[in-house]
Structure 1
Protein backbone atom coordinates (compact mmCIF):
# COMPACT_ATOMS: atom_id res chain seq x y z
CA UNK A 1 0.00 0.00 0.00
CA UNK A 2 2.80 2.44 0.90
CA UNK A 3 6.30 2.67 -0.54
CA UNK A 4 7.61 5.52 1.64
CA UNK A 5 6.91 7.06 5.04
CA UNK A 6 7.33 10.81 5.47
CA UNK A 7 7.52 12.22 9.00
CA UNK A 8 6.87 15.69 10.28
CA UNK A 9 9.36 16.63 13.00
CA UNK A 10 8.05 18.96 15.74
CA UNK A 11 5.45 17.24 17.87
CA UNK A 12 5.82 13.96 15.96
CA UNK A 13 9.48 13.03 16.44
CA UNK A 14 10.60 15.53 19.08
CA UNK A 15 8.80 17.18 21.99
CA UNK A 16 9.86 20.67 20.94
CA UNK A 17 6.58 22.58 20.81
CA UNK A 18 6.37 23.58 24.52
CA UNK A 19 10.02 24.67 24.44
CA UNK A 20 9.84 26.67 21.22
CA UNK A 21 6.54 28.31 22.05
CA UNK A 22 7.64 29.07 25.59
CA UNK A 23 10.54 31.11 24.20
CA UNK A 24 8.26 32.73 21.62
CA UNK A 25 5.68 33.62 24.26
CA UNK A 26 8.34 35.25 26.46
CA UNK A 27 9.81 37.28 23.60
CA UNK A 28 6.39 38.45 22.42
CA UNK A 29 5.57 39.47 26.00
CA UNK A 30 8.79 41.49 26.10
CA UNK A 31 7.66 43.18 22.88
CA UNK A 32 4.23 44.06 24.29
CA UNK A 33 2.01 41.07 23.51
CA UNK A 34 1.58 39.12 26.75
CA UNK A 35 -0.46 35.92 26.63
CA UNK A 36 -0.62 32.45 28.20
CA UNK A 37 1.45 29.70 26.61
CA UNK A 38 -1.72 27.87 25.52
CA UNK A 39 -2.85 30.91 23.51
CA UNK A 40 0.58 31.26 21.94
CA UNK A 41 0.47 27.64 20.81
CA UNK A 42 -3.02 28.11 19.34
CA UNK A 43 -1.76 31.00 17.23
CA UNK A 44 1.56 29.54 16.10
CA UNK A 45 1.69 25.76 16.29
CA UNK A 46 2.11 24.33 12.80
CA UNK A 47 2.91 27.78 11.37
CA UNK A 48 6.12 29.73 10.86
CA UNK A 49 6.61 32.86 12.93
CA UNK A 50 7.15 34.94 9.79
CA UNK A 51 3.85 33.76 8.32
CA UNK A 52 2.14 35.45 11.26
CA UNK A 53 4.07 38.72 10.98
CA UNK A 54 0.94 40.84 10.40
CA UNK A 55 -0.65 39.49 13.58
CA UNK A 56 2.54 39.99 15.60
CA UNK A 57 3.00 43.53 14.38
CA UNK A 58 -0.64 44.38 15.09
CA UNK A 59 -0.42 43.05 18.67
CA UNK A 60 3.03 44.42 19.54
CA UNK A 61 2.95 47.66 17.55
CA UNK A 62 6.47 46.86 16.36
CA UNK A 63 7.88 45.51 13.08
CA UNK A 64 9.01 41.89 12.96
CA UNK A 65 12.65 42.47 12.07
CA UNK A 66 15.45 40.15 11.02
CA UNK A 67 17.25 41.05 14.25
CA UNK A 68 14.25 40.00 16.33
CA UNK A 69 14.03 36.71 14.46
CA UNK A 70 17.76 36.08 14.93
CA UNK A 71 17.40 36.66 18.67
CA UNK A 72 14.42 34.29 18.76
CA UNK A 73 16.33 31.56 16.94
CA UNK A 74 19.30 31.93 19.30
CA UNK A 75 17.19 31.75 22.47
CA UNK A 76 15.07 28.92 21.07
CA UNK A 77 18.07 26.83 20.06
CA UNK A 78 19.74 27.30 23.44
CA UNK A 79 16.64 25.96 25.17
CA UNK A 80 16.31 23.07 22.72
CA UNK A 81 19.91 22.04 23.34
CA UNK A 82 19.29 22.09 27.09
CA UNK A 83 15.88 20.45 27.25
CA UNK A 84 14.82 18.63 24.07
CA UNK A 85 13.63 15.01 24.27
CA UNK A 86 12.22 12.69 21.59
CA UNK A 87 8.50 11.92 21.61
CA UNK A 88 7.96 8.63 23.40
CA UNK A 89 8.13 5.80 20.88
CA UNK A 90 9.37 7.99 18.03
CA UNK A 91 12.89 6.58 17.76
CA UNK A 92 11.56 3.03 17.63
CA UNK A 93 8.93 4.05 15.05
CA UNK A 94 11.53 5.66 12.78
CA UNK A 95 13.78 2.62 13.04
CA UNK A 96 10.85 0.36 12.15
CA UNK A 97 9.82 2.63 9.27
CA UNK A 98 13.34 2.47 7.87
CA UNK A 99 13.15 -1.30 7.94
CA UNK A 100 9.71 -1.82 6.41
CA UNK A 101 10.33 0.66 3.56
CA UNK A 102 13.95 -0.43 2.96
CA UNK A 103 15.18 3.05 3.81
CA UNK A 104 12.55 5.07 1.98
CA UNK A 105 11.79 7.54 4.75
CA UNK A 106 12.14 11.31 4.98
CA UNK A 107 11.61 14.14 7.45
CA UNK A 108 9.52 16.99 6.02
CA UNK A 109 9.01 19.96 8.32
CA UNK A 110 7.85 23.53 8.26
CA UNK A 111 10.74 24.45 10.58
CA UNK A 112 13.99 26.10 9.50
CA UNK A 113 16.86 23.76 8.60
CA UNK A 114 19.02 24.82 11.54
CA UNK A 115 16.33 23.70 13.96
CA UNK A 116 15.78 20.44 12.09
CA UNK A 117 19.46 19.52 12.08
CA UNK A 118 19.82 20.42 15.77
CA UNK A 119 16.79 18.37 16.81
CA UNK A 120 17.45 15.28 14.70
CA UNK A 121 21.09 15.26 15.69
CA UNK A 122 20.47 15.74 19.39
CA UNK A 123 17.92 12.91 19.57
CA UNK A 124 19.91 10.44 17.46
CA UNK A 125 17.39 10.47 14.62
CA UNK A 126 19.58 12.07 11.94
CA UNK A 127 21.28 8.80 10.95
CA UNK A 128 17.97 7.27 9.87
CA UNK A 129 17.04 10.07 7.47
CA UNK A 130 20.42 10.81 5.90
CA UNK A 131 20.03 13.51 3.22
CA UNK A 132 16.23 13.19 3.12
CA UNK A 133 15.47 16.12 5.43
CA UNK A 134 13.35 18.94 4.04
CA UNK A 135 12.52 22.40 5.39
CA UNK A 136 9.53 24.42 4.24
CA UNK A 137 11.71 27.53 4.62
CA UNK A 138 13.70 26.40 1.58
CA UNK A 139 10.74 25.85 -0.72
CA UNK A 140 8.45 28.33 -2.50
CA UNK A 141 5.68 27.66 0.03
CA UNK A 142 5.64 26.07 3.47
CA UNK A 143 2.84 24.14 5.13
CA UNK A 144 -0.18 24.09 4.73
CA UNK A 145 0.94 23.97 1.08
CA UNK A 146 2.19 20.56 -0.11
CA UNK A 147 5.62 21.62 -1.41
CA UNK A 148 7.70 20.05 1.37
CA UNK A 149 5.98 16.68 1.05
CA UNK A 150 6.21 16.75 -2.74
CA UNK A 151 9.95 17.40 -2.44
CA UNK A 152 10.39 14.61 0.11
CA UNK A 153 8.55 12.05 -2.02
CA UNK A 154 10.49 13.09 -5.13
CA UNK A 155 13.80 12.65 -3.30
CA UNK A 156 12.84 9.03 -2.61
CA UNK A 157 11.60 8.48 -6.19
CA UNK A 158 8.16 7.60 -4.83
CA UNK A 159 4.80 8.96 -5.96
CA UNK A 160 3.07 11.03 -3.26
CA UNK A 161 0.01 8.78 -3.64
CA UNK A 162 2.19 5.85 -2.53
CA UNK A 163 3.48 7.75 0.50
CA UNK A 164 2.28 7.72 4.09
CA UNK A 165 2.62 11.03 5.96
CA UNK A 166 2.81 11.14 9.77
CA UNK A 167 1.59 14.49 11.12
CA UNK A 168 0.17 16.07 14.27
CA UNK A 169 -1.37 19.42 13.27
CA UNK A 170 -4.20 20.46 10.95
CA UNK A 171 -1.70 22.58 9.01
CA UNK A 172 0.53 19.58 8.41
CA UNK A 173 -2.37 17.28 7.61
CA UNK A 174 -3.53 19.76 4.95
CA UNK A 175 -0.01 19.78 3.46
CA UNK A 176 0.13 16.01 3.26
CA UNK A 177 -3.34 15.69 1.78
CA UNK A 178 -2.56 18.48 -0.69
CA UNK A 179 0.41 16.43 -1.89
CA UNK A 180 -1.90 13.49 -2.55
CA UNK A 181 -0.54 11.32 0.27
CA UNK A 182 -2.35 9.28 2.90
CA UNK A 183 -2.03 11.06 6.27
CA UNK A 184 -2.07 9.46 9.69
CA UNK A 185 -2.25 11.96 12.54
CA UNK A 186 -0.58 11.47 15.91
CA UNK A 187 -3.24 12.64 18.35
CA UNK A 188 -2.24 12.19 22.02
CA UNK A 189 -4.98 14.55 23.26
CA UNK A 190 -8.64 13.84 22.48
CA UNK A 191 -9.57 17.52 22.15
CA UNK A 192 -7.38 17.77 19.03
CA UNK A 193 -9.20 15.01 17.16
CA UNK A 194 -11.97 17.02 15.51
CA UNK A 195 -9.58 19.56 14.00
CA UNK A 196 -7.31 16.82 12.64
CA UNK A 197 -10.24 14.99 11.08
CA UNK A 198 -11.60 18.22 9.61
CA UNK A 199 -8.21 18.83 7.96
CA UNK A 200 -8.51 15.46 6.24
CA UNK A 201 -6.55 12.98 8.39
CA UNK A 202 -7.20 9.42 7.22
CA UNK A 203 -6.46 7.85 10.61
CA UNK A 204 -5.79 9.11 14.13
CA UNK A 205 -3.56 7.28 16.61
CA UNK A 206 -2.67 8.22 20.21
CA UNK A 207 0.88 6.86 20.57
CA UNK A 208 3.95 6.79 18.33
CA UNK A 209 4.74 3.39 19.83
CA UNK A 210 1.65 2.00 18.05
CA UNK A 211 2.89 2.71 14.55
CA UNK A 212 4.83 -0.50 13.82
CA UNK A 213 1.78 -2.62 14.72
CA UNK A 214 -0.50 -0.42 12.61
CA UNK A 215 1.84 -0.76 9.63
CA UNK A 216 1.64 -4.54 9.94
CA UNK A 217 -2.16 -4.28 9.87
CA UNK A 218 -2.03 -2.65 6.41
CA UNK A 219 0.60 -5.08 5.12
CA UNK A 220 3.73 -2.92 5.46
CA UNK A 221 6.66 -5.15 6.24
CA UNK A 222 4.48 -8.25 6.28
CA UNK A 223 6.81 -10.13 3.98
Structure 2
Protein backbone atom coordinates (compact mmCIF):
# COMPACT_ATOMS: atom_id res chain seq x y z
CA UNK A 1 0.00 0.00 0.00
CA UNK A 2 1.43 3.37 -0.98
CA UNK A 3 0.37 5.91 1.61
CA UNK A 4 -0.94 9.31 0.51
CA UNK A 5 0.55 11.05 3.55
CA UNK A 6 2.81 10.18 6.48
CA UNK A 7 2.29 11.86 9.84
CA UNK A 8 5.10 11.76 12.39
CA UNK A 9 4.84 12.23 16.11
CA UNK A 10 7.81 14.25 17.35
CA UNK A 11 8.96 13.42 20.90
CA UNK A 12 10.48 9.96 21.04
CA UNK A 13 10.08 9.46 17.28
CA UNK A 14 12.14 12.26 15.72
CA UNK A 15 13.92 13.66 18.77
CA UNK A 16 15.11 12.04 21.99
CA UNK A 17 13.36 14.63 24.15
CA UNK A 18 11.22 12.60 26.51
CA UNK A 19 13.91 11.78 29.12
CA UNK A 20 14.93 15.45 29.20
CA UNK A 21 11.42 16.87 29.47
CA UNK A 22 10.29 14.32 32.01
CA UNK A 23 13.44 14.82 34.07
CA UNK A 24 12.63 18.52 34.42
CA UNK A 25 8.99 17.72 35.19
CA UNK A 26 9.91 15.13 37.82
CA UNK A 27 12.25 17.55 39.57
CA UNK A 28 9.70 20.36 39.59
CA UNK A 29 6.92 18.11 40.88
CA UNK A 30 9.21 16.87 43.66
CA UNK A 31 9.85 20.49 44.61
CA UNK A 32 6.07 20.76 45.11
CA UNK A 33 5.80 17.58 47.17
CA UNK A 34 5.12 14.83 44.62
CA UNK A 35 8.22 12.61 44.67
CA UNK A 36 8.60 9.80 42.13
CA UNK A 37 11.35 8.08 40.20
CA UNK A 38 12.30 9.15 36.69
CA UNK A 39 10.86 5.86 35.38
CA UNK A 40 7.54 6.41 37.16
CA UNK A 41 7.28 9.97 35.87
CA UNK A 42 7.98 8.82 32.33
CA UNK A 43 5.38 6.04 32.54
CA UNK A 44 2.71 8.40 33.85
CA UNK A 45 3.27 11.43 31.61
CA UNK A 46 4.69 10.04 28.36
CA UNK A 47 2.53 11.03 25.40
CA UNK A 48 0.38 13.36 27.52
CA UNK A 49 0.12 17.12 27.89
CA UNK A 50 1.01 18.23 31.43
CA UNK A 51 -2.07 20.47 31.57
CA UNK A 52 -4.32 17.48 30.86
CA UNK A 53 -3.18 15.92 34.15
CA UNK A 54 -4.10 18.99 36.21
CA UNK A 55 -6.46 17.09 38.54
CA UNK A 56 -3.87 14.45 39.43
CA UNK A 57 -1.04 16.98 39.82
CA UNK A 58 -3.10 19.17 42.13
CA UNK A 59 -4.25 16.17 44.16
CA UNK A 60 -0.71 14.83 44.62
CA UNK A 61 0.94 18.19 45.37
CA UNK A 62 -1.91 19.89 47.21
CA UNK A 63 -1.16 23.01 45.18
CA UNK A 64 -2.88 24.64 42.20
CA UNK A 65 -1.36 24.16 38.76
CA UNK A 66 -0.92 27.84 38.00
CA UNK A 67 0.02 29.52 34.73
CA UNK A 68 3.14 30.92 36.40
CA UNK A 69 4.26 27.39 37.31
CA UNK A 70 3.60 26.16 33.78
CA UNK A 71 5.64 29.01 32.32
CA UNK A 72 8.53 28.19 34.68
CA UNK A 73 8.31 24.56 33.59
CA UNK A 74 8.45 25.59 29.92
CA UNK A 75 11.46 27.83 30.57
CA UNK A 76 13.42 25.14 32.43
CA UNK A 77 12.42 22.47 29.91
CA UNK A 78 13.40 24.59 26.91
CA UNK A 79 16.75 25.46 28.45
CA UNK A 80 17.58 21.78 28.97
CA UNK A 81 16.36 20.79 25.50
CA UNK A 82 18.45 23.51 23.90
CA UNK A 83 21.52 22.24 25.72
CA UNK A 84 21.06 18.48 25.39
CA UNK A 85 18.57 17.50 22.66
CA UNK A 86 19.65 14.97 20.04
CA UNK A 87 17.93 13.49 17.00
CA UNK A 88 16.70 9.90 17.15
CA UNK A 89 19.23 7.74 15.30
CA UNK A 90 18.10 7.20 11.73
CA UNK A 91 15.32 9.79 11.88
CA UNK A 92 16.75 12.11 9.23
CA UNK A 93 16.93 9.37 6.61
CA UNK A 94 13.49 8.08 7.67
CA UNK A 95 11.89 11.49 7.20
CA UNK A 96 13.64 11.95 3.85
CA UNK A 97 12.30 8.57 2.70
CA UNK A 98 8.76 9.48 3.82
CA UNK A 99 9.09 12.83 2.04
CA UNK A 100 9.98 11.05 -1.20
CA UNK A 101 7.39 8.28 -0.75
CA UNK A 102 4.52 10.76 -0.47
CA UNK A 103 5.88 13.48 -2.78
CA UNK A 104 6.33 15.84 0.16
CA UNK A 105 2.99 15.09 1.87
CA UNK A 106 4.32 14.65 5.38
CA UNK A 107 3.55 16.42 8.65
CA UNK A 108 4.64 16.52 12.26
CA UNK A 109 1.65 16.07 14.58
CA UNK A 110 2.41 16.16 18.30
CA UNK A 111 0.82 16.75 21.66
CA UNK A 112 3.61 19.21 22.52
CA UNK A 113 3.28 22.99 22.36
CA UNK A 114 4.20 24.64 19.07
CA UNK A 115 7.25 26.52 20.37
CA UNK A 116 8.81 23.27 21.59
CA UNK A 117 8.05 21.48 18.33
CA UNK A 118 9.57 24.16 16.16
CA UNK A 119 12.58 24.62 18.42
CA UNK A 120 13.31 20.89 18.38
CA UNK A 121 12.89 20.44 14.62
CA UNK A 122 15.20 23.38 13.95
CA UNK A 123 17.80 22.11 16.41
CA UNK A 124 18.07 18.65 14.83
CA UNK A 125 17.91 19.84 11.22
CA UNK A 126 14.43 18.57 10.30
CA UNK A 127 12.50 21.83 9.98
CA UNK A 128 12.96 22.08 6.20
CA UNK A 129 11.06 18.81 5.73
CA UNK A 130 8.00 20.00 7.68
CA UNK A 131 7.88 23.80 7.19
CA UNK A 132 4.21 24.82 7.54
CA UNK A 133 3.03 21.27 8.24
CA UNK A 134 3.51 21.23 12.03
CA UNK A 135 0.47 20.55 14.21
CA UNK A 136 0.31 20.93 17.99
CA UNK A 137 -2.22 19.31 20.27
CA UNK A 138 -2.23 22.58 22.23
CA UNK A 139 -3.94 24.21 19.23
CA UNK A 140 -6.68 21.56 19.03
CA UNK A 141 -9.95 21.15 20.95
CA UNK A 142 -8.50 17.92 22.38
CA UNK A 143 -4.98 16.53 22.54
CA UNK A 144 -3.92 12.89 22.24
CA UNK A 145 -5.32 10.27 22.78
CA UNK A 146 -8.09 12.11 20.89
CA UNK A 147 -7.49 12.06 17.11
CA UNK A 148 -7.82 15.83 16.53
CA UNK A 149 -4.18 16.62 15.75
CA UNK A 150 -3.92 13.78 13.22
CA UNK A 151 -7.23 14.67 11.60
CA UNK A 152 -6.07 18.29 11.26
CA UNK A 153 -2.80 17.20 9.65
CA UNK A 154 -4.53 14.87 7.20
CA UNK A 155 -7.04 17.59 6.28
CA UNK A 156 -4.25 20.10 5.66
CA UNK A 157 -2.50 17.62 3.37
CA UNK A 158 -5.79 16.85 1.59
CA UNK A 159 -5.34 13.17 2.39
CA UNK A 160 -8.03 10.76 3.53
CA UNK A 161 -7.13 9.56 7.05
CA UNK A 162 -7.53 5.95 5.92
CA UNK A 163 -4.74 6.57 3.39
CA UNK A 164 -2.39 8.05 6.01
CA UNK A 165 0.42 6.37 7.91
CA UNK A 166 1.11 7.55 11.45
CA UNK A 167 4.49 6.94 13.10
CA UNK A 168 4.18 6.83 16.90
CA UNK A 169 6.04 5.54 19.94
CA UNK A 170 3.48 5.61 22.79
CA UNK A 171 0.18 3.87 23.45
CA UNK A 172 -1.47 7.28 23.87
CA UNK A 173 -0.26 8.35 20.43
CA UNK A 174 -1.13 5.04 18.78
CA UNK A 175 -4.64 5.35 20.19
CA UNK A 176 -4.91 8.82 18.63
CA UNK A 177 -3.75 7.62 15.23
CA UNK A 178 -6.10 4.64 15.22
CA UNK A 179 -9.01 6.87 16.31
CA UNK A 180 -8.24 9.12 13.33
CA UNK A 181 -8.67 6.11 11.03
CA UNK A 182 -5.01 5.91 9.98
CA UNK A 183 -2.63 2.99 9.79
CA UNK A 184 -0.19 3.22 12.71
CA UNK A 185 3.34 1.85 12.79
CA UNK A 186 5.05 2.07 16.16
CA UNK A 187 8.72 2.82 16.67
CA UNK A 188 9.56 0.46 19.52
CA UNK A 189 13.24 0.33 20.52
CA UNK A 190 12.43 -1.46 23.79
CA UNK A 191 10.79 -4.88 23.22
CA UNK A 192 8.92 -4.77 26.54
CA UNK A 193 6.87 -1.84 25.24
CA UNK A 194 5.63 -3.79 22.24
CA UNK A 195 2.55 -5.47 23.75
CA UNK A 196 1.04 -2.15 24.90
CA UNK A 197 1.61 -0.59 21.47
CA UNK A 198 0.02 -3.55 19.70
CA UNK A 199 -2.89 -3.54 22.13
CA UNK A 200 -3.45 0.16 21.38
CA UNK A 201 -3.80 -0.71 17.71
CA UNK A 202 -0.38 -0.48 16.06
CA UNK A 203 -0.27 -2.72 12.99
CA UNK A 204 3.52 -2.94 12.87
CA UNK A 205 6.44 -2.50 15.27
CA UNK A 206 9.96 -1.55 14.24
CA UNK A 207 12.96 -1.20 16.52
CA UNK A 208 15.13 1.36 14.69
CA UNK A 209 14.24 4.35 12.52
CA UNK A 210 16.63 2.99 9.87
CA UNK A 211 14.04 0.27 9.25
CA UNK A 212 11.44 2.75 8.03
CA UNK A 213 12.83 3.52 4.53
CA UNK A 214 12.87 -0.14 3.41
CA UNK A 215 9.44 -0.71 4.96
CA UNK A 216 8.06 2.21 2.95
CA UNK A 217 9.76 0.98 -0.20
CA UNK A 218 8.01 -2.37 0.24
CA UNK A 219 4.61 -0.86 1.09
TM-score by length of 2: 0.99
Equivalent-residue separation in structure 1 for 2:188 and 2:76 (angstroms): 28
RMSD: 0.6
- Residue by residue over 1:126-184, the C-alpha shift from the partner in whole angstroms, topping out at 9 and shown as x without a partner, is 10011000000001011000000000011111100000000000000010000000000
Deviation of the 1:217 alpha carbon: 1.5
Q: Aligned runs of 1:28-107 on 2, under 5 Å?
A: 28-107=29-108
Matched, 1:114 2:103: no
Aligned position for 2:195? 194
- Residue by residue over 1:16-37, the C-alpha shift from the partner in whole angstroms, topping out at 9 and shown as x without a partner, is 0000000000000101111110
Deviation of the 1:118 alpha carbon: 0.6
- Residue by residue over 1:81-132, the C-alpha shift from the partner in whole angstroms, topping out at 9 and shown as x without a partner, is 0000000000110011111111000000000001001100111111001100
* Number of residue equivalences: 218
TM-score by length of 1: 0.97
Equivalent-residue separation in structure 2 for 1:54 and 1:123 (angstroms): 34
Q: Aligned runs of 1:210-221 on 2, under 5 Å?
A: 210-218=211-219
Matched, 1:144 2:145: yes
Aligned position for 2:180? 179
Equivalent-residue separation in structure 2 for 1:90 and 1:170 (angstroms): 20
The DSSP-based 3-state class of the residue aligned with 2:107 is: strand
- Residue by residue over 1:167-221, the C-alpha shift from the partner in whole angstroms, topping out at 9 and shown as x without a partner, is 0000000100000000000000011011101100010110001000111121xxx
- Residue by residue over 1:54-82, the C-alpha shift from the partner in whole angstroms, topping out at 9 and shown as x without a partner, is 11111111010000000000000000000
Equivalent-residue separation in structure 2 for 1:130 and 1:152 (angstroms): 13
The DSSP-based 3-state class of the residue aligned with 2:205 is: strand
Aligned position for 1:221? none
